[in-house]
Amino acid sequence: MRLLIDCTYFTKGERHIMNAPLTLSPEDQNELAVMDTIHGFVETEQTQFLCLMLGESTAAVLQAYLDGKDAVTDEEPEVDADLEYLADGLRESFADYVFYRMLRNVNTLVTTTGVVELKTANRYRTPADREASIWNRMVERNLSFVKRLRERGVCYSVYYSENMVTKINALNL
């Protein structure tokens, strides 16, 4: 599965994650661990996000197109301008979505004997305000994407979930 984004989307700004590598080939073990975690979230969330923002059929077409770009063949893959437009228009929004999902999972670790609450000498703050901020920024990007999509027109049918264009507060309401 070809990923829409990579760990470099989490190296600065509001989505900064400590030890997120600036390149896709870090040598530092901490950076490798962070990169693997980020890519795990991206891989887990990508299909759902694309379905929520494009509808299942267009999401499947876009994923097949992305996967085809990785295929090893003698020919250059044919470029589909509309699918490129969809992919490019969703990358930043998807990075916000992944970051939101990561924030929802930062305080616990699942083991075979239960869920462990993580604690260290550092003081942790609840990520609820940050979750709302990131989600709402994603919503703004999604609304802008939908508006641009309507103006441009693409040959694919796009159906998005109302949840993806609805803001929340820190209580997730």
Q: Note the pLDDT tens digit of each residue in 125-170.
A: 667 888 999 999 999 999 999 999 999 988 999 999 999 999 999 8
pLDDT of residue 173: 62
59: alpha, beta or left? (left if phi > 0; alpha if psi -120 to 50): alpha
Q: Which residues contact 92 (CB under 8 A, 6 or more apart)?
A: 9, 141
Q: Note the pLDDT tens digit of each residue in 23-75.
A: 999 999 999 999 999 999 999 999 999 999 999 999 999 999 999 987 766 67
Cα 9 to Cα 24: distance, rounded to the nearest angstrom? 11
Cα 133 to Cα 123: distance, rounded to the nearest angstrom? 21
Q: Which residues contact 162 (CB under 8 A, 6 or more apart)?
A: none
Alpha helices in 71-111 (DSSP H): 81-103
